[in-house]
Chains A and B, each alone.
Chain A
Amino acid sequence: MAKITLNHITKVEGHANLSVEIKNNKLVRCELGSIEGTRFFEGIVVGRRYDEIKEITSRICGICSVSHSMTSLKATEKAFDVKVTKQTEILRELMSIGERIRSHATHLYFLVLPDYLGFESAIPMAKQYQKEVFRALDLVKIGNEIVLKTGGRQMHPISCVVGGFTSVPSKEDCDYLLSELKKSRKKAFDTLELFCKLKYPKVELDMEQISLKPETSQPMLKGAIVSNKGLNVSENKYSDFIDEKIESYSTAKFAVKNGKSYLLGALSRVGNNFECFAVDIKKVISKYKFIFPSKNIFNQNVAQAAELVYWLDEAISILENNEFELQKLVFVSVKAGTGRAATEAPRGILFHEYSFDDSGNVTHCNIMTPTCQNLRGMEEYVHAFIELLLKKKVKKKEIILEIEKLIRAYDPCFSCSTHFLQVDWLQK
């Protein structure tokens, strides 16, 4: 019996732990959990007034703070029957696009690409692949600039509040963003080509793939909850079929649907909404013989790259067709009630639910992040992949590298629920 502990699987967001036990070349145990310290967000917002809840829950995650903000505002407004203006909806979508662009660009280029090009990180990679690294930094920058100009800050946006915006981007801001976005379009396309050209392993599981589905576009802030297995319900109904389980090895809870794991994120979104892509995106995807829907988790990288192009185009279209003016915030008349909201964060559906008392203070809060919902499925994919690799008699060291690639393809965000993934490897 040998116990092997591998510390610090890196280049993921947050802190996590993977524990693996192998007996007679067979995998007998595989546990993946978050070891991020507990922060009790759902507990600390209780008793606090509606107008600071978005500000607090935004702090759950730096990389997806816009998503947390948008979902929080949407749930709060639903509880009070606040109807925001069309302009507010558009600006919120634009801000979310900014986050989607920077999140995907960061993930693809800095966390994923070094594995495939044989570098420990993007820093040494930059010497040989300067063009690619600069492209990544440019894409991250345009994403950041969008969030900054619409939200007042690159992270934890400020100006979006319950009922609208305290400030809106100026004409100059919009012109600047538009011209930068147009320059970035080729970079996004080059990204899609690059990630289509990489050689990915094939690990397929027949997992239910869930995403939002608006009628005519890829999903962001609205749409019914649908799946490749016939699910089609409104966001208000999520708690009817999703349960959260606690395991002693993880501070993040595990969400399951009717006892089973499911998959959220770009792979599910693209699979469920493929027809909404523009012809030129579909062309690149088919040129490299990728087919969506796909059960191979590694194709998530391609799905993210396709989304990058799609959302960049959407941002251009928003800016070409809108001018923004400062509007009065919609009056909030507080009352006791509950609001539930679902949006597509970069990593999948994010749920926020709040109940308020009649003075507008939170009495109950439930937040389900995409990573919590993906954790059980990620465990199952890791399990399947290790078995596949053991069958092929792959050496332990390589197995670990391959598992890391798989986990990165999942794009977990363990703050939301890993700066380190510690692997305990127990071989009997």
Chain B
Amino acid sequence: MTKPKVAIHSITGCAGCQLTIYFVKDLLLKLLEKIDLVAAPMLKEKNNAGPYDVCFMEGLVASKDDLEHLKKIREQSKILVALGTCATHGNVPGIKNSYSDSTVVESRVYKNLNLKEQIMPLKPAPIDAHVKVDYYISGCPPEEKEILKFITDLLLGKKPVIYDEPVCVECSLKENDCLLERGEECLGPMIRGGCDALCPSVNHGCTGCHGPLSDANILQGIKLLEQNGVDIKLIKKRFHKYSYDKFSELEEQAKKIKRKD
């Protein structure tokens, strides 16, 4: 069998998702036995253009340069995987979208924003705002076991299935104390797990870095936190932190359903 041609490309971000792959000895070596890593500019000097069988794309669209690079890579990739919460949900740079006037945020950083056109800011957005995405592996950073499972499924010729249960499922299996029951702040019920309830396991509420479940019950989530005395404005900020656009969309849907009821 010929090894699948795999690429790891990136646009604006922190490089943490790639590092998750490079950092793990066992994972990296296992992967390199099975795949042909033809492009990974952070790690390699020689980086081939596509076609790629699979391309992992890290980062969010924040400039024209990003957008052009993303579109080019999409054309060259049979399977495009959005890797990490920047690519899947826009991550914290998306907080900027909570302002109706983006120049308010921009002017706090650059007094006169006068950059070359290629690097002038675009509205921060997950990559599926601009191109078709085949799979989403969220997480900030994404979990190595999810990346490994994804590649294993592909190598076995199975259609990869991405875990889509709330953080609470794994948290209960680990028999952690429920932080919500203890009266604390935790976004676990609305957030996609796959992380083995990482944060609650170190006694810290889930802050939502995997982004919301596809069918997150937002109104119930807000209620749970309100019961624990969290101010509604703060709850919204917490929800929006990693996935402003997605949470806003879910909130709108929930309101519509409520009106119908």
Contact = CB atoms under 8 A, between A and B. Distances in A.
Interface in B206-257: 207, 209, 234, 237-238, 241
Interface stretch (B74-82, B117-125, B126-134, B158-166): B117-125
Given A40-B109, A48-B237, A159-B202, A420 B17 contact: no
A120 B48 CA distance: 12
B198 to A, nearest CB: 6
A291 interface: no
Interface stretch (B22-30, B149-157, B167-175): B22-30
A62 B111 CA distance: 27
A62 B203 contact: no
B108 A14 contact: no
Contacts of B237: 48-49
B62 interface: yes
Contacts of B14: 59-63, 65, 415
A38 interface: yes
Interface in A21-57: 35-44, 46, 48-49, 52, 55-56
A229 B17 CA distance: 40
B12 to A, nearest CB: 3
B43 A161 contact: no
Of residues B14, B105, B116, B201, which shows the largest number of chain A Cβ atoms within 10 Å of its Cβ? B14
Nearest to A102: B23
A8 interface: yes
B23 A248 contact: no
A44 B140 contact: no
A110 interface: yes
Nearest to B97: A44
A155 interface: yes
B202 A38 contact: no
Contacts of A114: 45
Interface in A343-367: 364-365
A65 B92 CA distance: 14
A243 to B, nearest CB: 13
B210 to A, nearest CB: 12
Contact of A158 (B19, B107, B199): B199
A175 to B, nearest CB: 19
Contacts of A177: none
Contacts of A159: 202-204
Given A10-B42, A40-B108, A65 B16 contact: yes
Nearest to B114: A248
B65 interface: yes
Contacts of B46: 120-121
Interface in A66-114: 102, 106, 110, 114
A251 interface: yes
B112 A10 contact: no
B204 A13 contact: no
A246 interface: yes
A52 B204 contact: no
Contact of B41 (A8, A42, A144): A8
Contact of B15 (A46, A61, A140, A249): A61
A62 B16 contact: yes
B258 to A, nearest CB: 28
B240 to A, nearest CB: 10
Given A59-B14, A62-B16, A35 B118 contact: yes
B95 interface: yes
Contacts of B122: 37
Nearest to B203: A166
Contacts of B42: 10-13, 419
Contacts of A12: 42
Interface in B55-77: 59-63, 65-66
Interface in A200-252: 246, 248-251
Interface of B: 9-20, 22-25, 28-29, 32, 37, 40-47, 59-63, 65-66, 91-93, 95-96, 104-112, 114-116, 118-119, 121-122, 124, 140-141, 198-199, 201-204, 207, 209, 234, 237-238, 241
3 shortest A-B CB distances, which residue pairs? A62-B16, A37-B62, A37-B12
7 contacts: A12-B42, A40-B105, A43-B104, A106-B23, A120-B44, A123-B44, A250-B119
Interface of A: 8, 10-15, 35-44, 46, 48-49, 52, 55-56, 59-63, 65, 102, 106, 110, 114, 120-123, 137-138, 140-141, 144, 152-156, 158-159, 161, 166-167, 246, 248-251, 364-365, 415, 419-420
Given A56-B241, A140-B23, A167-B204, 18 more contacts: A36-B12, A37-B63, A37-B119, A38-B62, A38-B106, A38-B119, A43-B108, A46-B105, A65-B16, A123-B44, A137-B29, A152-B202, A154-B23, A156-B141, A166-B204, A246-B114, A249-B115, A419-B41
